[in-house]
Amino acid sequence: MNVTDALRLRKSVRVFLDKAVEEEKIEAILSAARHAPSGANTQPWQVAVVAGESKQKLQSRLESAFRNGDKGKADYVYYPEQWIEPYKSRRIDCGMQLYAALNIAREDKQRRLEQWVANYRAFDAPVLLLFFLDKRMQTGSFMDYGMFLQSIMLVALEQGMATCPQAAFADYAEIVKSTLGYPEDSVLLCGMSLGYEDRSAPVNNYRTPRADVDTFTRYFK
């Protein structure tokens, strides 16, 4: 698989097969992704691979917190406080596509709630990756991390697996860090579901559109 094909084929998968992920494959994915670039070769990534009983314990705590009305608190601000165009429309369209693929009506608040809760189970993928950053690092390390995360997703695809990057885990940074024993002053950036795609699931078969190159590019000659 070449890089262009991998970029086009990568997608966020939300239904996984009940099939274990081999530890050696996880090791291979991370071993390849560690070659991602970073400013001054700082390599700021810290990765937790969570599976089995540890995953069950963590997701139980997260789901309980969410259902009890605990909104949590992220270590950083991901989205803008006020949405503007074209980002607002893209966000709305993305949500509409997701719920349409799941056949969840706009007024069906309970099913929408349950779908959100599925985030904290990593969509029942066998493996959850969680990504941490030393709090002393700055904005540039977020850029570095983006390249690292993309590398993981593309190598996972090459290995025959699927992923779903999830900012939702960042909302419960305190619970995640206390459960796994990470320092309170570390930054939880996001999580990522990892496993084998259930290709029969309709929610895995829709694709969000991408803007044409000429909408975001200017040439200076």
CATH number for the domain running over 3-204: 3.40.109.10
| Domain boundaries of the chain, sorted by first residue | 3-204
Q: Which two tokens stand for residue 85?
A: 């165009």
Cα torsion 111, 116, 121, 123 to 10°: value is 80
Quick: pLDDT tens for 132-178.
Answer: 999 999 999 999 999 999 999 999 999 999 999 999 999 999 999 99
Q: Could you say which DSSP state residue 36 is in?
A: S
Contacts of residue 37, defined as CB under 8 A and 6 or more positions apart, other chains included, come to 144, 147
Reported confidence tier of residue 30, pLDDT bands at 50, 70, 90 = very high
CA distances for 79 relative to 27, 37, 95, angstroms: 32, 25, 15
Q: What pLDDT sits at residue 1?
A: 85
What share of the chain in percent tops pLDDT 90? 99
Confidence check: pLDDT of 106 > 90: no
Burial class (CB in 10 A: 0-12, 13-18, 19+), 115: middle
